[in-house]
Amino acid sequence: MENFKIDIDADGVALVTFDVPGRSMNTLTGSVIAEIPTLVEKIKSDDAIKGVVITSGKPSGFCAGADLGDMASGMLAGGGDLQKAFDTGWALNGAFRALETSGKPVAAAINGLALGGGLEFTLACHYRVVENDPKIQLGLPEIKVGLFPGGGGTQRLTRLIGVQNALMQMAEGKSWRPNDAKGAGVVHEVVEKGQSVEAAKAWIKNGGKAVQPWDDKGFKIPGGGPYHPAGAQVFIMGNAILRKQSYGNYPAVLNMMKAVYEGVQVPIEAGLRIETRYFIKTLMTPQAQAMIRSLFLSKQELDKGAVRPAGVPKSDPKKVTVIGAGMMGAGIAYVQAMAGIETILIDQSQEAADKGKQYAVDLIQKRVSRGHMTQDKADAVLGLITATTDYDLIKGSDLVIEAVFENREIKAAVTKNAEAQLAKGAVFGSNTSTLPITGLAEASVRPEDFIGIHFFSPVDKMMLVEIIMGEKTGDEALAKALDYVLKIKKTPIVVNDSRGFYTSRCFSTFLMEGMAMLEEGYSPVLIDNVGRMTGMPRGPLEMHDDVALDLSYKIAKQTREDLGDKYVPTEGEQIVATMVEQGRYGRKNGKGFYDYDQKPKVIWPGLAELAPTTKGAEFGEGPEALAAVDELKTRLLYRQAVEVARCWEEGVIDDPREGDLGAILGWGFAPWTGGPITFIDQTGLKAFVAKADELTAKYGDRFKVPQLLRDMAEKNETFYGRFAPEKKAA
Amino acid sequence: MADAYIYDAVRTPRGKGKKDGSLHEITALSLAGQVLEALRDRNGLDTGKVDDVILGVVSPVGEQGSDIARTAVLAAGYDQRTAGFQLNRFCASGLEAVNVAAAKVKSGEAGMAIGGGVEAMSRVPMGSDGGAWPTDPSSAFPTYFVPQGVSADMIATKYGFTRDDVDAYAVESHKRAARSWAEGRFNKSVVPTKNQLGLVQLDRDETVRPNTDMQTLAGLNASFEMMGGMGFDAVINQRYPEVAAVRHVHTPGNSSGIVDGAAGVLIGTKEMGEALGLKPRARILGGASIGSEPSIMLTGPEPVTRKLLAKLGMEPGDIDLYELNEAFAAVVLRYMQALDIPHDKINVCGGAIAMGHPLGATGAMILGTVLDELERSGKSTALATLCIGGGMGTATVIERV
C-alpha cells in the first residue's frame, strides 16, 4: 500500500497512517479507494491486530475528500453504461462498509481538517477523536459544488445525529469546529493538539466495540424515520425548506433528500446503494457538471494564478497602501491585514482614517469573541494597520489601491500624490467600479503600472476581485496585482477595459430587464419573485434598490453624454429616471421600488401609478402560467448571457473560466448554471441563438446575439471547446 | 345503460371529533353498521339483493383499516352474499362511493348497492395512515406540496377574499345550520346514533353554534400562519409568484370542523327498486372526477363542475341547488366567484364549517342533505361536489323524480 502505513504496537493496536504520496493534502484518489479493501483485509486477517487507529501523516489535515475532477471523470467514464458507473461509484461505499464491518474496532484520530469524503471516512470508523485546534473543520460541503455526500454521509450522519440535524448540515454544506462537532454528536471525544492517536488507542485498549450503532440490533434512527410521527414532520418540513432555499434549481438538493428519505427506511447497506445511485444520477446532471467545473476546478485554477503572465517572477506584496477609508477602503484594509500585509490606510482626516480602521477592529473583535481567533493574533493583525492622513507613509509600498470617490478629478489628484511616493516597479491600483481605467491612467506618469483592482462589497465576504487592464497596463503590473489578490485569498479574474468592465456591465442588464418588464406592465411582485426563482440572489427591483437608483441613473447619464449620437437607450431607463426625479434613490434613502420604513419591506404604492400592472395577475392554475413564468426567467438569464457574449466578442473577457466564475462570484449569476458561458454551452449554441432570436423579435435588439455566437452555432462549437484554457496557454 | 336511482339516504349526527365528543366512545365500525342497519330497517330491505357496499374512509388504518365496508356488512348482519369495499378519494370519498355504486348499477354489475362512508376522526386521527405525497421528496418537490390550510389561504389571497369575507361566510353557515335543525330539515336523513346499550348517544350535530358572530370569529388566530412561515408559504409562492405573500385568513372558525360520523345512500335500478317495493327519490344524472393544480389543491370543484355539466349538456344555471363541502370558507367563495353562483343557491342548509367534515363520510352526507332540500323546496336538480387533497374534484348531479 502506498497510501497507508501500518505500525502495530505492543498492545496489538495498528496505527494506520494515511499519507498520499506526492500530495500536500490527503484526498480520496482512485489509488486510495482501491487500497482501502487491502487495508481492511490486512486488519481482518492479521491476528496480531486487535484494533486500529487511523490518522493522517499530513500536517495539512486528515483528508479533504474526493478529488472531484478525477471522481467525475472516473464514474462517468463508461459513458452511458450505468451499471459500470454504479460499480465505480460503489467502490468507495463498499470499501467504507467493509471497514466498519471488519470485526475489529477502528478509531479515527482526526488530527486535521476532515471534509467531504474525508469526514465520511471517519464516519465509517467506530470511534472519532478530534484535536482541539480552531483550524480544524469537519463538514460535508459537497452541496456547494452541485453534489451531495456520496461516501455514506447521507446514511451514516442521519443515523448518527438524526435526519433533521444531518439534513441541515448537509444542505448548507457548513462545517463544525471540533467542540461543536462533539456537541452535535459527530465525534466522541475532543483532545488537546497531538493527543488524538493516544486517545484513540486508549479507547481501543478499554474495549472499544467493533460495531456501528446502526448495526446494533434494535437500532432506531434518532428522531425517527419518515413514517414515524415526529420523523414525518422532519421530512415534510425538510422538503418545504429545501424547495424554499433551492427554488428547485439544484438536482443535488432534491437527490440528497431522496437518498435520505429512501435510505433511512432500509438497512444501512441498502441505504448506501441507494445513495450511490442518486449520487451518480446527480453527477450526470448538467447542473452538477457545470458547478463542479466552475466552482471547484476553475476556481482552484484561478486561485492558483492560472491567468498570471508566466514570464514575470513571483512577487510578494509586503506593504500596501489603501487610500480612502470608506466602506470599500476599510474592507480592503481588513482583508489584506488578515493576510499579513502591512497596511497604510489613508483618508483626508485622521477621524475618517480611524473610522476605517475601526471597521477592522470590530470584525476582528467578533472573531475573538467567537473563539475563532486568539487575542494575540488579533493584536498582531490590527498592529499591521496604520490609519493616517500622511502620504509620506506610502513610501515603500509595493502597491497602492485608491478607493476614493468616483470622480475623475479627485482620483487624478490622488494618483499624482501617491505616485510621488512610490518606488519604481510599485503598482497603482484603482478600485473604481464605473470609470474606464484607460481614462484614469491618463493622470498617471507611468500608465504601464496603473491597473484596475475592483473589489466587491462587502469586501470581507465577496470572494471575487476583477482586475482591469488599461490600454497601457503592462504584464508586470498585472502579475503583481494578481500576486496581491492571491495573497489575500480572493479569486481573481482579469478583464480588458470597457464601460462597466465585465461584472458591472453584465449585471446591469439583469436590473434593466426587470425595469423593462415593469414598463411592460408586469407586477413588481412577480418580477422580483421570478428573479429569485432564476437562482439570482435577489430580484431585479430589490437589487436595483440596493445598488441605488440614482447611481444607475448617473451612470446612464454619463454614458449618454460620453457616447452622444451613438447612445442607444435601454428599455426601462425611463422608469429609473422618473424614480430618481421623485427622490426615490433606493434602499440608501429608504425609498425605492420598495418602502423600507417597515419590515419586511413593501412595494411602494406609488409604483402602481408609475407602472400600472396589466400582466401577471391573471396567471391561472394551469401549466400555461408556468410557461409564462418560465419565459420571464428565460429573459432574465438570456439578457445577461447575451451581454456576456458581447463582452467576449469585444475582447473584454477571453477565458471561459473567468467569464463563468466572475459572473457567479461577482454579481451572483445563478450558480446552478455554472455561469453564463457554461449556460450558453450547455444550452447549445444553436438552441441559444434560436431562442435569443425569438426574444429579439418579441422584445427588442437587447437580445441580439453577436456574430461570434452565430459562427460558433454554425460550426457546432462551444466556448469551452473553441477557447479551451489549455489551448490559450499554448 | 340502466338509470341509477336513489332510494334512500341516511347519516349519523356529527359528533365533535375530540376525546370529549359524544361519539368518541362509539367505534367506527358501529357508526358504519348503524347506517347500514338504518338503510335496511327503514326500507325493509332484503339485504341479499344488495350486491355491494362501498364506503369511503380517508384514514383506513386501525379500526378503520382492512376493508371496513365488508366488516360493517357482516357486523350489521347483512346477508353474507353482500360484498363490501373501502375506497379513498380523500375528502370526496363518500361521494365517490356513491358515484361508484351508481356506476355499478348503471353498468348492470349491481342491481342494488350502497355508497357511503365513515370517519371516526376522534378515534383514528387524520393523517395516521402516513402517505408519500408530502413526505417523499419525489412527490413533494415537483408538486410544490403545502398543507391544505396554506392552500386555502392562497386561494383567499390569490382570488381576493379577506378575513372578513371568510368570517362572514362562516357566520352564515352556522346560521343556516341552526335554522335547518330548528325547522327539522335534517329529520329525514339523520338517524340518532345509539350506544352499546341501544340508548341514544347523539341525535344532533354537535358543533353548530347559532350565536357565532363576526366578533367572536375575529378573535381567533390564523391556523396556518406559523406553518406557512416555516417554509410552506415560500413553496406555494414559487408556484404562484404573482402573489406577494400568502395572507393567512383561515381559523378554526371558518374552516370545517373535525367530527365523527357516517352516511350511506341506497342506489339501484328501477327494476330492482320495484321488485323490492321501494320508491325512487331521485335519479343520478351523472358523476365525474378531475385532477387540478395540486399545490393550491382545493380548486378542483370548479373544473369538475364544468366537466360534468358539459357532459350532461347543462349550464350552471340549470342547477337549482348546489352543495360544495365547506372545507374552508375560501373554497366556497372561490367556487361561487368562478361559476357566478348566488349564495342562496349553495349550501342552503349550512355546511361543514358549522356541522363538521367527517372526511370519508361527508360526500354522502351532503348528497343526502341536498336531496332532502330539493324535496322540501320542491326544486328539481342539484349538484354536490367537494374539493380534494392532492388537487382533485368530484361531483354528482341528481334530479328529483
Interface A–B counts its CB contacts (< 8 A) at 85
What DSSP assignment string belongs to A286-353?
HHHHHHIIIIIIIHHHHHTTTTS-TTSPP----EEEEE--SHHHHHHHHHHHHTT-EEEEE-SSHHHH
Sign of dihedral through CA atoms B75, B78, B81, B85? negative
pLDDT number for residue A371 = 82
A341: nearest Cα among A353, A331, A333: A333
What b/e string do you get for A20-42 counting C-beta neighbours within 10 Å, with b at 16 or more?
beeeebbbbbeebbebbeebbeb
The complex's ipTM works out to 0.95
pLDDT at A727 exceeding the cut of 60: no
User: How many angstroms separate the CA atoms of A610 and A662, rounded?
Assistant: 35
Task: Indicate yes or no: CB of A621 within 8 angstroms of CB of B242.
Answer: no
Chain B interface with A: residues with Cβ < 8 Å: 130, 134-138, 140-142, 144-146, 230-232, 234-235, 237-238, 240-244, 292-293, 296, 299
Q: Are strands A450-455 and A427-430 parallel, antiparallel or unpaired?
A: parallel
- Residue tagged 470609470 (cell numbers): A435
* Chain A neighbors of B387, CB-CB under 8 A: none
CA A117 to chain centroid = 19
pLDDT in tens, A621-647: 999 999 999 999 999 999 999 999 999
Short-list A191, A199, A281, A265, CA closest to A226: A265
Domain-wise residue ranges, chain A: 4-211+239-284, 319-499, 503-618
Would you place residue A409 in the very low, low, confident or very high pLDDT band (cuts 50, 70, 90)? Answer: very high
- Chain A positions in Cβ-Cβ contact with residue B231 (cut-off 8 Å): 237, 240-241, 243-244
Q: pLDDT for B262-289, tens place per residue?
A: 999 999 999 999 999 999 999 999 999 9
pLDDT value at residue B361:
98
Q: Which CATH number fits domain A4-211+239-284: 3.40.50.10090, 3.90.226.10, 1.10.3720.10, 1.10.10.10?
A: 3.90.226.10
Query: Chain B: nearest CA to A364, how far in angstroms?
Result: 33
Residue A68's pLDDT is what?
83
Tell me which residue of B98, B155, B160 sits closest to B331, measured CA to CA: B155
Q: What are the chain B neighbours of A236 within 8 Å (beta carbons)? A: 134-135, 140, 145
Q: How far is B244 from chain A (nearest CA, A)?
A: 6
Grid-cell match 471534509, residue found: A115
Please give chain B's pLDDT, 401 residues, in tens.
899 999 999 999 999 999 999 999 999 999 999 999 999 999 999 999 999 999 999 999 999 999 999 999 999 999 999 999 999 999 999 999 999 999 999 999 999 999 999 999 999 999 999 999 999 999 999 999 999 999 999 999 999 999 999 999 999 999 999 999 999 999 999 999 999 999 999 999 999 999 999 999 999 999 999 999 999 999 999 999 999 999 999 999 999 999 999 999 999 999 999 999 999 999 999 999 999 999 999 999 999 999 999 999 999 999 999 999 999 999 999 999 999 999 999 999 999 999 999 999 999 999 999 999 999 999 999 999 999 999 999 999 999 99
At A79 the pLDDT is 77
Picking from A236, A257, A525, the nearest residue to B134 by CB comes out as A236
Q: What is the pLDDT of residue A313?
A: 94
The shortest CB-CB distance from A239 to any of B137, B234, B292 is to B137
| A73 pLDDT above the threshold of 80 | no
Q: Sign of dihedral through CA atoms B285, B287, B292, B298?
A: positive
Contact B263, B365 (CB under 8 A): yes
Q: Identify the burial level of A470 via C-beta atoms within 10 angstroms of its C-beta, where 0-12 means exposed, 13-18 middle and 19 or more buried.
A: buried
The C-alpha cell that represents A226 in the structure block: 419518515
Question: For A163-175, what is the mean pLDDT?
Answer: 96
| Mean pLDDT to the nearest integer, A545-560 | 91
Burial A186-220 (b: 16+ CB within 10 A, else e): bbbbbbeeebbbebbbbbbeeebebebebeeeeee
Residues of B in contact with A226 (CB under 8 A): 135-136
User: In 3D, which of B43, B45, B35, B41 has the Cα closest to residue B11?
Assistant: B35
Residue A530 to residue B237, Cβ atoms within 8 A:
no
pLDDT of residue A730: 36
Closest chain B CA to residue A234: B135
User: Hey, are the CB atoms on A236 and B235 less than 8 Å from each other?
Assistant: no
C-alpha A113: how far from chain center: 19
pLDDT tens digits along A218-247: 999 999 999 988 899 999 999 999 999 999
Q: Which residue has the cell 361536489?
A: B385
pLDDT value at residue A134? 83
- Residue B76: closest CA among B49, B44, B111, B38: B38
pLDDT of the residue at A74: 79
Contact with chain B for residue A6, Cβ under 8 A? no
Q: pLDDT of A344-403, one tens digit each? A: 999 999 999 999 999 999 999 999 998 889 999 999 999 999 999 999 999 999 999 999
B34-37: list long-range contacts, CB under 8 Å, 24+ apart.
B34/B76, B34/B191, B34/B193, B34/B194, B34/B262, B35/B10, B35/B11, B35/B116, B35/B118, B35/B191, B35/B262, B35/B263, B35/B264, B36/B72, B36/B73, B36/B76, B36/B78, B36/B114, B36/B264, B37/B76, B37/B77
A275 is catalytic: no
pLDDT in tens, A445-458: 999 999 999 999 99
Categorize the per-residue pLDDT at A196 as very low, low, confident or very high, splitting at 50, 70 and 90: very high
Phi, psi of B123, rounded to the nearest 5 degrees: -105, -35
For residue A147, report the phi and psi dihedrals to the nearest 5 degrees.
-120, -175
pLDDT at A726 over 80: no
Q: Are A469 and A658 in contact (CB under 8 A)?
A: no
B contact test, residue of A236, A254, A528, A536 with most B CBs within 10 A: A236
Residue A239, min C-alpha distance to chain B (Å): 6
A418/B58 Cα distance (integer angstroms): 79
Say yes or no for a CB contact (<8 Å) between B141 and A239.
yes
Q: Domain A319-499 class?
A: alpha beta
pLDDT at A190 > cutoff 60:
yes
Is-contact A61 A122, C-beta < 8 A?
no
Q: Residue window 621-640, chain A: list those with CB within 8 Å of chain B.
A: 621-622, 629
Third-level CATH fold of A503-618:
N-(1-d-carboxylethyl)-l-norvaline Dehydrogenase; domain 2 (1.10.1040)
pLDDT of residue A725: 81
The predicted pLDDT at position A729 comes to 43
CA distances from residue B25 to A465, B116, B193, B194, B196 in whole angstroms, order as listed: 72, 21, 11, 11, 9
Q: H-type helices in B313-396, by residue range?
A: 329-339, 352-355, 362-377
Burial track A572-599 (b if 16+ CB lie within 10 A, e otherwise): bbebbeebbeeebbbbeeebbbbbbeee
Q: Which of A466, A542, A643, A658 is catalytic?
A: A466
Cβ-defined contact of B234 to A242 (cutoff 8 Å):
no
Q: How far is CA A69 from CA A290, A293, A300, in A?
A: 12, 8, 11
Give the model's pLDDT for residue B197: 98
User: Smallest Cα–Cα separation from A50: which of A231, A205, A263, A279?
Assistant: A205
Map grid coordinates 482541539 to a residue: A132
* Digit-coded pLDDT (tens) for A119-156: 999 999 999 999 999 889 999 999 999 999 999 999 99
Burial degree of A653 (CB within 10 A; 0-12, 13-18, 19+): buried
Instruction: Write down the pLDDT at residue A120.
Output: 98
* Chain A residue closest in CA terms to B158: A617
- pLDDT at site A555: 87
Active site residues of B: 91, 357, 387
Q: Which residue of B has its CA nearest to A232?
A: B135
Q: How far is CA B158 from the centre of its chain?
A: 25
| CA atoms in the 13 A half-sphere facing the CB of A207 | 0
Burial class of residue B159 (count of CB atoms within 10 Å of its CB; 0-12, 13-18, 19+): middle
Q: Calculate the CA A20 to chain-centre distance.
A: 27
Determine contact, residues A525/A512, Cβ cutoff 8 Å.
no
| Predicted pLDDT of residue A574 | 94
What number of CA atoms fall less than 13 Å from residue B88's CA on the CB side? 17
What is the grid cell recorded at A573? Answer: 431607463
Q: Are A159 and A229 spatial neighbours (Cβ–Cβ below 8 Å)?
A: no
- Residue A87, judged by CB atoms within 10 A of its CB (0-12, 13-18, 19+), counts as middle
